[in-house]
Amino acid sequence: MSDSEMSPKRSLTTRIVIGMTAGIAVGVVLNGLLTSTLEPEGKVSGLIQGVLIDGVFYVGGAIFMASLKLLVVPLVFVSLVCGTASLEDVSRLGRIGGKTLGLYLLTTAIAVSLALLTAILIAPGEGLDLPTQTNFVAREAPGLAETLVNIFPTNPIKAMAEGNMLQIIVFALLFGFAMTLSGEPGRRLLGVFEDANRVILRLVEVLMEVAPYGVFFLLAKVFSVQGLATILDLFQYFVTVLTVLLLHGLLVYPALLFVFSGLDPRALLRKMRTPISFAFSTASSNATLPVTLETVEEKLGVNNSVASFTIPLGATINMDGTAIMQGVATAFIAQAYGVELGVTQLIVVVLTATLASIGTAGVPGVGLIMLALVLNQVGLPVEGIGLIIGVDRLLDMVRTAVNITGDSVVSCIVAKSEGEFSAERYASR
Ligand code: ASP
């Protein structure tokens, strides 16, 4: 690839970082103005709130999010049909699925274990002066049987209209499989799907060009509403979650990638910077999916037949960052309420946090709701969630970045082991 082809990509990452930095700075300043202004109900505050925060930032951010989300369903369907139909031997699908699920479970279990270990060592919740009452109300989690049955669509159009990712995946796999069995008509249709796939990916790239503005609006809104003072109240919890997220993202993933596939992890981390900044700004694995898929295929060299399956599945069920938050939060709440967790209970936490993170949808804030499942299993008060809610949005941004990095690592490992990988593309600048 020539330098002239490379420079726009490099400058896109830089421009996104500038957009993010500016968004955070503007948000923090506005939040400071709103909270410290002498006339909180006055004209200036009203203008800032009404025109900027609820006006420009909200509208700009919401349109950006909507344009990302609108690509998800068509992209996943078209891309996965292509991926399945282009596999010469469809029985390989079972192997790819098995490896992917195995690795997703393994990485999540490692993530929770690391989270528990660190939280027990740091003990962020010990000696907390607890508010006696928090106003958090837990929601019921769906049962296992219902969850399994729900993976299978009765109406694919409904599944698409609702954005039900697992159902869309099942339908795309079946459709692609039937195409491979259909001889010439299947091959003709594959050509159409491949063309559609290219067009949608092109649209993703077009959208990425406006990302610097999109991330600016999103972050300016979050930080002007959120403020950073809450971090101080929950400083130890915040730092513990952040530490484990960074350890997992910067040490565990690189180590796994190297051990399982021999690839240089630095290339992956460098190339994932764009999807990572999308994940951070949107706090949604789902909304980031088009960008993750584009990066994993085009820049990391994972073949469409693997990426089109592993990335949508990962964005839906593989949430290592979420599991980390749930592990630390459980230990934190136990410490705050003065409850000692025994070895059996710790094992239960690892298992249920793994399941709870699988059940977490790739949208903002759901990880916290699913935490109720873990707390219930070990008999901790669900209202404890109210203690940590104040910093959850900020942590959500970082954990979503970890979630999608995990998907890309597993995708590379599976693709490499299946020979569906371009080492050349991976190594290119
Ligand atoms: N926001 C996370 C994601 O989209 C899920 C969560 O932890 O709430 O990956």
105-146: per-residue pLDDT in tens? 999 999 999 999 999 999 988 877 665 455 566 556 667 787
CB of 362 sitting under 6 A from ligand 1: yes
What are the domain boundaries of the chain? Answer: 3-427
Please state the atom number of ligand 1 nearest to the C-alpha of residue 370: 8
If we measure between CA atoms, which residue out of 88, 72, 74, 71 comes closest to residue 305? 88
Please state the atom number of ligand 1 nearest to the C-alpha of residue 325: 7
Considering the chain, what percentage of its residues have pLDDT values greater than 70? 93
Residue 239 — φ and ψ, nearest 5°?
-70, -35
CB of 176 sitting under 6 A from ligand 1: no
Average pLDDT of every residue of the chain? 90
CB of 279 sitting under 6 A from ligand 1: no
Mean pLDDT of 389-409: 96
Give the angle 113-114-119 at the CA atoms, nearest 5°.
100
In the beta sheet, which residues pair with residue 421?
Answer: 302
CB of 403 sitting under 6 A from ligand 1: yes
Distance 184 CA to ligand 1 centre (A): 42
Please enumerate in sequence order all residues whose Cβ is within 8 A of that of 401, keeping only pairs 6 or more positions apart, or say none.
249, 276, 279, 280, 321
CB of 283 sitting under 6 A from ligand 1: yes
Mutate to test the pocket of ligand 1, among 108, 241, 285 (most ligand atoms within 8 A of CB): 285
pTM here is 0.90
What are the helix and strand counts (H, E) for the chain? 22, 0
Mean pLDDT of 76-93: 88
CB of 372 sitting under 6 A from ligand 1: no
Distance 36 CA to ligand 1 centre (A): 32
Checking if the pLDDT of 285 tops 60, the result is yes
Distance 281 CA to ligand 1 centre (A): 12
CATH 1.10.3860.10 holds for 3-427:
yes
CB of 292 sitting under 6 A from ligand 1: no
pLDDT at position 137: 61
Which of the listed ranges 3-7, 127-131, 178-182, 247-251 does the model predict with the highest average pLDDT?
A: 247-251
Neighbours of 55 (CB within 10 A): 13
The larger pLDDT score, comparing residue 364 to residue 128, is at 364
Distance 145 CA to ligand 1 centre (A): 23
Q: Is 223 exposed, middle or buried (0-12, 13-18, 19+ CB in 10 A)?
A: buried
CB of 324 sitting under 6 A from ligand 1: no
Checking if the pLDDT of 5 tops 50, the result is no
List pLDDT tens digits, range 206-265: 999 999 999 999 999 999 988 777 788 789 999 999 999 999 999 999 999 999 999 999
Distance 319 CA to ligand 1 centre (A): 7
